[in-house]
Structures are given as structure tokens and as C-alpha cells.
Amino acid sequence: RAPAGADEADGDAEAAGDPMEIAELTVLPDEADLRLDRLLVGRFELQSRTYFASLCAQGLVTMDGMRAAKGDRLRVGAVVSVQFTPTAEMEARPERMPLDILYEDAHLLVLNKAAGVVVHPAPGHWEGTLVNGVLFHLLGNGHGAAGAAEASGGAPPSDESDESDEPDALRAPTSTVVHRLDKGTTGAIAFAKSAESQRALSSLFRLRQVRKSYLAVCVGDPGADPIEITHPIGRDKANRLRMTVVAEADGGRSARSVVRRLCYDGRFSLVRVDIFTGRTHQIRVHMRAHGLPLVGDDEYGSKQWNQAALKGLGVRRPLLHAHRLAFEHPFTQRALAFEAPLPDDLRR
């Protein structure tokens, strides 16, 4: 099963960092004794045996918790875990969709992401992602098919392709993406408009030269003084679909968040969270670890408070918003800063 939205990263994981998604599946009786690579191709039909062989070689496929080889034979009831990584095989078709554009120039595009929208294609989310919409936008704004293909890292369609309002010959992996937001997270997110731009923007994120501020609603009161949280983060060994605090000696990756209370109503606090790393689910994990879970967060939050927020306020997502994104333009060296307006559920 491919968990909805598991490819995204709150805080804002760099696109080249963690695997984009983990999927787990259980071997059925009629799949017994099949080769592992054949099982994976059968379950995930849009990927090739070569792709899964590469994942196995990288140690990104396990069976019952043990590293698996592409030719391993399957046992009924065995649990196979696959950590997907971005690849040119993961095609995206341009799709017409509304985009809330905060900024655009020849090199980059900054959008205000709505809640419930997945950033890029992945197993379980091949259509309706922001990448699909960005590709369509590029095609309709003077870039042409070749420009959009360059932005995505793919090749332009051949001269023999049929003319269409939504070209289907455009191969588009996720290299337009330079960072990611969770499906439920709203706010500012940047996209590259060419392969050169993608490399330059990704470098800014990798070198920690992008300043990122989030607004969130949490349960409880963090106090008047800023809180610095530096717990390292890694995969939860008991549930590989979740992240948790993991010592660096055990494989956790360093992470740093600074939390500042903006207001408190006796139950919930509106906080600003500045993050200095981009680990998967960083803000959600750090806030939970500090006893301040985000309101509406079904994965890391408080079930009791989530039910109260749903019943009283209609909250149906983690109340987390990428409010501000600031960096130096990689080509003009101009200082840029973007603020995404608050969504309605945070205005309440």
C-alpha cells in the first residue's frame, strides 16, 4: 500500500534528501515463490524491473526488515518495504489547474500551496499534483514543450506527437521540485523552471542558505521565551512510514527548529517555527517530542484534541503553514522574500 502523502515533508525536506515515499505490501498466497522484482513490477505497473533492481542494489527494499535482492523468492505473509526515489521514469503529464502564484521570473516560480494537494507524482498520486500544474503552466507561458521538458529533466515530445491541449508525450520527473511540503501543509513552495535553475536552487537549500518560517497551531503553551529543539530525526523502526526522534548514533539526522509563541488562548497556541534543516516531518516530530503536538495532526498529534478541533472548528488537517521563504536569487543575486497569506482555517 502506498500511504497518501507520505512522500511529502513538512518543514521542507530537500527534494534530493530522503526517499520520496515508503510503500509496504504483504505477499499474497498466489504470489508465493515469485521473484521479488516481478512482484514489485506487478504491484507498481508504471515502474520497470530495472528501476526496482536499482532500489534493491541501494538497499532501499527490505523483506521482513532484512535487505532484499531483486531475485529473492517470496514467502506468503512476508512484508516488503520499498523506499521510492525520484527518477525519470516517474512521468508527469501537464494538467490544467489553478495556481496561486506568489512570484515568477525566467528561472523560478513560487506558489502558495493549498491544503490537500500533493507536490509531485509518486505511487498513489500520479495525477493532480503541483508538478502536473506547473508543467502545464510552463507550456502555456512561452516555454513550449522543450522548455517544460528541460525544466522537468525530460525530453521534448517528438515532431510526430499529436497536437493536444494537454500534451501526453512530455516526460517529466520531479526535478522541477527543490523542496517539498506535506499534503496537508499550506504555503510557500518554490519550483525551478529549468534544469540549471533546479541545480542552483537545490544548492541553496543544501547549503542552508534559504530562510524558512512556518506558522502552526499547537496544543498547549510553549511559553514566552523561544524554544530551540535539536532532536535528531530518523525512521521509526516500529513503523517505517513514520519519523521519530532517533539518536545520531542509531542513524538519526541532525535537525534544528526554533519555536516562538505568538499568542495563546488557554488551549491552543499560534507559533512561528523557524527551521534550519529540512528533515522529513521535522516540525511535526519536534513539536510532538516537546509535548506541543500540532492541532489536526492525525499521525503525530493528540487524538483527543484533534477530535475536539474537528468538532468545534472543522479542522481536518495539521494546522501548519509555510509562511515565509527568503533567499538570494541564484542568478541575479537579488534578495528575495515571499510570504504566503494565511488560509481560512488558520485565520479562525
Q: How far is the C-alpha of 159 from the C-alpha of 25, rounded, in Å?
A: 41
Contact 222, 243 (CB under 8 A): no
Q: Report CA torsion sign: 5, 6, 10, 13.
A: negative
Q: How far is the C-alpha of 319 from the C-alpha of 215, rounded, in Å?
A: 8
Q: Is 239 helix (H, G, I), strand (E, B) or coil?
A: strand
Q: 182 an active-site residue?
A: yes
Cα-based torsion angle of the residue sequence 193, 194, 199, 200 in order, rounded to the nearest 10 degrees: -60
Of 10, 12, 72, 182, catalytic? 182
| 268: amino acid identity, one letter | F
Concatenating the DSSP letter of every residue in 58-103 gives TT-EEETTEE--TTPBP-TT-EEEEEE---TTS----------EEE
Residue 305 CA: distances (Å) to CA of 162, 190, 243, 286: 53, 32, 21, 18
* DSSP at 10: S
Helix axes 36-43, 49-57, angle to 10 degrees: 120
Kindly report each contact of residues 262-266 with a partner whose C-beta sits within 8 Å and lies 24 or more positions away, as own/partner. Answer: 262/215, 264/221
Residues annotated as catalytic (active site), given as ranges? 182
